[in-house]
Structure 1
Amino acid sequence: MTGDRWHPSQLLMALPGLLTIVLVLMGTVPIGAPLLGPALPSFGLIAVFVWATHRPDLLPHWLAFGIGLTQDLVLGGPLGMNALIFLIVQGICASQRRFIAGRPFLLGWLGFAIIAVAVAIAQWVIACAYLVALVPIEASLMQATITIALFPLIAAPLMYLAIRLGREDAA
């Protein structure tokens, strides 16, 4: 009968996915930037990056896809765009984690900045194709800039949590 009960460690292992979904929902609240207007930071992208580089076992591909799909549904953009992007980011970051995890924070921030700009360009291309029109790229680049600027505020607690959750069993 002990196999039917939840163990606290199971809840801890679900925490990264739950926190990432909460961050996706928090990212739907526009942040007003003086002289720039409202922008939506991609907190979900930050979380996917952190979990993929520090504990990819806690954010499997299917979960990254599901979180991206949740963001698509909440924001009302092209269905599957963020799901695909989060899946690709998770795969790239997990495969490159040996170059990012355990390095100075600034190096991780730089790596995230590169990913965020690439994601902004990919989202812009997808938006242009979806709308069959040339959309101004400024909004995508503004989102990337704000997300990069807020990276330390979101990533530092997530990295701390990744350390506190222990080491990956199969590294």
Structure 2
Amino acid sequence: MADRVRGLAWAYPMAFVGIAVMLLIARLMPISAEAGSWPGPDLLLCLILVWVTRRPDYLPALLIALVVLAEDLILMRPPGLWAALVLVASEFLRSRGALTRELSFAGEWLLVAGVMVAMLLAYRLMFLIAFLPQPGFGFAMIQTVATILCYPLVVGLSWFLLDLHKPATGELDSYGRRM
């Protein structure tokens, strides 16, 4: 029984990597090439924050760092900056696992939205400090708002398709430790 549970513990990180690769491929496809179109949401960020908030034991920090660093390199962003911000945000949410377990969905959504806005501001501040050119603030804010609005959809799909739910009080992880 314990071996089956430990085997399932590796299924979720592999599923995450597969979903991340599919999202990255979809992001690279030339769906609309017209200038001035609205930015889409960052679904990979949504997925990471949902999984870290719902089941922090399924998504190791090293895996998050590697996946987002690969995304940085493929999308030609400054290597490691966005990966570091996502890692800090995910570890912030992971450390508040007991709090988020007790929050209603609206409270969880508000907490994650605040984290996303803080990430946007920190990213833009780093660009400002390094004197790097950056897209307009409105463009970045629209993408952040779209990502915030997609959060409930990603939560629903993760729950429905992958049975990813908040741990119940007293629930054990794959190694028999209390969550």
Pick which of 157-166 and 134-143 moved more.
157-166
Task: Determine helix, strand or coil for the equivalent of 2:38.
Answer: strand
Q: Indicate the residue corresponding to 2:3 in structure 1.
A: none
RMSD of aligned C-alpha atoms? 3.1
In the alignment, is the contact (CA less than 8 A) between 1:56 and 1:94 conserved in 2? yes
The 8 Å contact of residues 68 and 83 in structure 1, kept in 2 or not, is answered as yes
Change (3 A) 1:164 1:95: closer
Q: 1:164 to 1:106 in 2, by over 3 A?
A: closer
Q: Distance in 2 between matches of 1:155 and 1:117?
A: 19
Aligned partner letter, 2:75: L
Gaps spanning 5+ residues in structure 2: where? Answer: 1-5
In the other structure, the counterpart of 1:168 is 173
Q: What one-letter code is carried by the residue in structure 2 that aligns with 1:47?
A: L
SS of 2:144's equivalent in the other structure is helix
Classify 1:18/1:134 alpha carbon distance in 2 versus 1 (closer, same or farther; 3 Å).
Answer: closer
CA distance in 1, matches of 2:99, 2:42: 23
Give, in angstroms, the shift of residue 37 of structure 1: 2.5
How does the TM-score come out when normalised to structure 2?
A: 0.74
Distance 1:164 1:109 in 2: 14
* Separation (CA, whole Å) in 2 of partners of 1:148 and 1:121: 15
CA deviations on 1:28-60 (whole Å, 9 max, x unpaired) are 56898xxx7231311111111111112111111
**Equivalent residue for 1:105?**
105
2:92 matches 1:92: yes
1:147 matches 2:144: no
Deviates more, 1:20-29 or 1:59-68: 20-29
For residues 108-164 of structure 1, give each alpha carbon's deviation from its aligned partner in whole angstroms, at most 9, with x where no partner exists. Answer: 211111011111112212233444457632222111111111111112222443239
Q: CA deviation at 1:20?
A: 3.6
